[in-house]
Amino acid sequence: QLQLQESGPGLVKPSETLSLTCSVSGGSIYNYYWSWIRQPPGKGLESIGYIYYTGATNYNPSLKSRVTISIDTSKSQFSLKLSSVTAADTAIYYCARGRALFNYWGQGTLVTVS
Amino acid sequence: ELVLTQSPGTLSLSPGERATLSCRASQSISSSYLAWYQQKTGQAPRLLIYATSTRATGIPDRFSGSGSGTDFTLTISRLEPEDFAVYYCQHYDNSPMYTFGQGTKLEIK
């Protein structure tokens, strides 16, 4: 059974860079798209962006200037960096398999900007 | 920019009742690209339905989806206690990004 696990700091200071990693186990990272999605506390879901196993990326235009998603196929991991964070970036961050339709999700990790 | 509006915001029903959740798109969309997710408190969303009416693997047949154009519906035929959650509709297609609705909370009456 495919499993995804987010990891990274739960607290980030304003203006700094948020960094998260998603570890994929129980299945191959190859031949799939991998995404990051976030959810501010008590609010709805927002796309951040995705990466193909080849390294091709696409980002939400509203975050594009601050987002970098990368992948390390040798480690079966992909990562998110979000720069210049503010309190508005406080959210649960999910990693998921897929470009736009998601049937496998990580459990999510809360990142607070303060 | 496509906007998905879900209604009602909150739906209060009892176990055994039928639930009907609505998702309205700001412009006509292909029924091939409309999905529904269920999110329980403290959990990640779970894919229920894609392509408007196709149930994802392992989803009980009490969940069904329908609709076309701008109006889509998720129906839960007979509510079980574990069905009380927040439900999101989502539009996805071949364009780079996708859109979620704001969610409908299904609560126990």
User: Does the structure show a pLDDT above 90 at B74?
Assistant: yes
| Chain A residues contacting B via beta carbons under 8 Å | 44-47, 58, 60-61, 94, 96, 99-103, 105-108
- Tell me what the mean pLDDT of segment A30-43 comes to: 95
Question: Smallest CA–CA separation between B19 and chain A, in Å?
Answer: 21
**With an 8 Å Cβ cutoff, are B97 and A58 in contact?**
yes
- Tell me what the mean pLDDT of segment A50-63 comes to: 94
> How does pLDDT run across B31-43, given as a tens digit for each residue?
889 999 999 999 9
**With an 8 Å Cβ cutoff, are B47 and A102 in contact?**
yes
Q: Using an 8 Å Cβ cutoff, are B2 and A100 in contact? A: no
**With an 8 Å Cβ cutoff, are A100 and B93 in contact?**
yes
**pLDDT for position B83:** 98
User: Does the structure show a pLDDT above 80 at B97?
Assistant: no
User: Does the structure show a pLDDT above 90 at B93?
Assistant: no
In chain B, the percentage of residues whose pLDDT exceeds 90 is 89
**With an 8 Å Cβ cutoff, are A47 and B43 in contact?**
no
- Kindly report the number of other CB atoms within 10 A of residue A62's CB atom: 12
Residue of A nearest to B102 (CA): A44
User: Does the structure show a pLDDT above 90 at A23?
Assistant: yes
- Tell me what the mean pLDDT of segment A62-75 comes to: 96
User: Does the structure show a pLDDT above 80 at B96?
Assistant: no
Burial class (CB in 10 A: 0-12, 13-18, 19+), A83: middle
Per DSSP, B56 falls in state P
> How does pLDDT run across B32-72, given as a tens digit for each residue?
899 999 999 999 999 999 999 999 999 999 999 999 999 99
